[in-house]
Amino acid sequence: MVTLAEVATHAGVSASTVSYVLSGKRSISAGTRQRVERSIQELGYHPNAGARALASNKSNIIALMVPLRTDMYVPVMMEIAIAVATTARTHGYDVLLLTGEEGPDAVRRVTGSGLADAMILMDVEMDDERLPLLRGTDQPSVLIGLPADTSGLTCVDLDFAATGALCVEHLATLGHRDIAVIGEAPGVYERHTGFAERTLEGLRSRARELGLRVLHRPCEGGYDAMTLTLARIFDERPDTTGFVVQNESAVEPLLALLRRQSRAVPEDVSVIAVCPDQVAVQASVRLTSVAIPAQEMGRRAVEQLVAKLDGRDTDEVVLLAPELTIRASTGPVSTLS
């Protein structure tokens, strides 16, 4: 293993000079710099991460805590994680992958050991048990998601309330009066995961203003669950003509069932989804949708975190504005029936 000392000898300078060439923390003459850089190349030197962490009290590692559960849409998680890792690298950080399994203990472990300089938490619940710990430490952190109380925390998320409102507005504009919301699995609501509840709130309050009726039904993914859910919806509200779906694994079953019931999309019923663009485009009907900007969320989270680490001021809450893309699954309500 090549050490900094060896580089110094090889270049005919002192260890500190090599260190400063690397860090750029003091000016170096052009000649010296070149010789040092040449030696680094020739010897294939890589600074030792442990030594660096010990001496500088910085690990250059960001911890990312992903949920262990997989009842939520996994590709979104993965896309966020990859965006986090990619963006972190551009700022000189590596990413440590923690699962939710350890829970609050992981926060303590990482904070206490100096393993990571900062952390990003995904899948934050409204009243998350990790939050007190984060508030009580000086380790910078960013949440992807929005808990009930954001004081003292930095959060990045899609503005789900605005998302819900946007969906309902679009349907209202098309003349729909009875809206059914097909939501995430019941467990998601029971855990009080922020995004699901906020979508619903935004949607309901806008619907109230616009005078629309809303029926909300959580739904496990898959065909069997969807069959039941859909039957109940039409049973309770036969005049439903607009659907808002926030559950990727319910999208295709819903479309298939509607087809089977000879309800044409968008002639008889309109469907709008909250999902990644890829899902909207690949569905059997190209779906009008509000996109979940997974990459953007991961990227912004890292940028907020790096700003904190650099001692720059950060926003407390970054809410990304939802964007509606109109495709082939929504249309004006039928005037014939």
The footprint of a copy of itself on residues 276-315 (CB under 8 A) is 281-284
Is 319 one of the binding residues for DNA (CB under 7 A)? no
| Whether 65 contacts 100, CB under 8 Å | yes
| Whether 13 contacts 36, CB under 8 Å | yes
Nearest to residue 47, comparing CAs of 11, 23, 12, 31?
Answer: 23
Residue 31 binding partner per list DNA, a copy of itself, none, with a CB distance cut-off of 5 to 8 Å that depends on partner kind: DNA
**Applying CB under 8 A, which of residues 3, 9, 86, 137 lies at the interface with a copy of itself?**
86
Quick note: the x/- pattern for a copy of itself over 194-223, rule CB under 8 A, is: ---------------------------xxx
Residue 336 binding partner per list a copy of itself, DNA, none, with a CB distance cut-off of 5 to 8 Å that depends on partner kind: none
Give the span between the Cα atoms of 214 and 32, in whole angstroms: 72
Alpha helices in the chain (DSSP H): 4-11, 15-23, 30-43, 49-56, 74-90, 104-113, 131-135, 160-173, 186-190, 194-210, 223-236, 248-260, 277-282, 294-309
Give the span between the Cα atoms of 69 and 176, in whole angstroms: 36
**Applying CB under 7 A, which of residues 9, 10, 29, 193 lies at the interface with DNA?**
29
Options 17-25, 68-76, 221-229, 264-272: segment touching DNA (CB under 7 A) = 17-25
Residue 26 binding partner per list a copy of itself, DNA, none, with a CB distance cut-off of 5 to 8 Å that depends on partner kind: DNA
Q: How far is the CB of 175 from a copy of itself (least distance, A)?
A: 28
Q: How many CB atoms lie within 10 A of CB 27?
A: 7
**Applying CB under 7 A, which of residues 9, 10, 13, 95 lies at the interface with DNA?**
13
Query: How many residues bind to a copy of itself according to rule CB under 8 A?
Result: 55
Nearest to residue 303, comparing CAs of 83, 54, 122, 48?
Answer: 83
Q: Which residues bind DNA (CB under 7 A)?
A: 1, 3-5, 12-17, 19-20, 22-23, 25-29, 31-33, 45, 47-48, 51-52, 54-57
